[in-house]
Structure 1
């Protein structure tokens, strides 16, 4: 592979990654409009998974009572 081909492949991969991020942002905004709340995005290209999930705002952590 020549350096030109390597550069072209790198640019194409970067564009595809940016497209994935933009699509996830669009989905998160649509979910917010449809369901309310705040939505988080997690994209893992190594494991090939994308997640758009509602953020659950939890109260302060309190220790669980011990079981005797």
Structure 2
């Protein structure tokens, strides 16, 4: 029983992640229509607050959040 709940939760999370990816690609498409050129999207789920960044596709630098400096 617990295994089926886990499998169901993983499947649901995977579907939601695919939806986020599809929406990100659509956002990149719209940015191209507005600003011209090709755009790419990076979604960061690793920090306490997720971030979605849309940058020109030719900018190959990895997008990393900058650590907070106190």
Q: TM-score range by the shorter chain?
A: 0.7 to 0.9
Task: For residues 2-48 of structure 1, give each alpha carbon's deviation from its aligned partner in whole angstroms, at most 9, with x where no partner exists.
Answer: 00100000001100110110000000001101110121211111121
Report the RMSD for the aligned CA atoms in angstroms: 1.7
Q: Which runs of 5+ in 2 are unaligned?
A: 60-70
* Residues matched between the structures, number: 57
Q: Which runs of 5+ in 1 are unaligned?
A: 58-68
Tell me the secondary structure at the aligned position of residue 46 of structure 1.
Answer: coil
The equivalent position to 1:49 in structure 2, one of 48, 51, 58, is 51
TM-score norm. by structure 1 comes to: 0.73
Q: Which runs of at least 4 in structure 1 moved beyond 3 Å after TM superposition?
A: none
